[in-house]
Amino acid sequence: MVVKIQEIGADALQHYKQISIAFEVKSVFHVELINNGLGGIRLREEEVMPSYIKDYDAYEDGGPEEWPKRFDIRNWGFFLALDQTRPLGGAAVVLNTPGVHILDGRADLAVLWDLRVYPDFRGCRIGTKLFNHAANWSRKRGCKQLKFETQNVNVPACRFYAKQGCQLGEINRYAYAAHPEVGHEVMLVWYLDL
């Protein structure tokens, strides 16, 4: 299989959104504070019984078709991983966009907003190709870091980012407290120096 990464415009997000981002939660990282945090923090993986499906696109404010309605996407990059013309995965990168608070007001920071691969093609290095493309795209635009958020329920994503050389920079145990359906989740923010 020959995979090519192609930049697309917002008008092609209907193809992008057809790639499922849903995954099965089989385990979670529990946050353990040592000496109330003064002795450090440990992430301990624990199996979830029964497992369940998490789909980021299922949330009311999620999904690629909502991005142009919610944000000024002129500085965003959208990419598809293609085998011939068949989309296998996608990535979205955000630069310098008012109202996107995860950018921390920094012009030298890019955010990997979304990374998805069709379930049948996960584990085939398509995510790695998309990740590297997003990092290079950001570097060419003067960014010094790439930042991305995931949750403690997405253990495969955490392992993937660590394997790419990323470092866990933030753990926010209460980030989703105002959202009961995900209030039990912990925000994990990763960084890659470019």
Contact 193, 169 (CB under 8 A): no
Q: For 3-143, CATH number?
A: 3.40.630.30
Count of residues in the chain: 194
Q: What are the structural domain ranges in the chain?
A: 3-143
Q: Closest Cα to residue 62, out of 172, 182, 188?
A: 182
pLDDT score of 60:
67
Q: What are the tokens at 71?
A: 């944000």
pLDDT digits over 113-125, tens only?
999 999 999 999 9
Write the pLDDT tens digit of every residue in 150-190: 999 999 999 999 999 999 999 999 999 999 999 999 999 99
Which regions of the chain are under pLDDT 50?
Answer: none
C-alpha 59/C-alpha 55 separation (Å) is 8
In angstroms, what is the C-alpha Rg of the chain?
A: 17
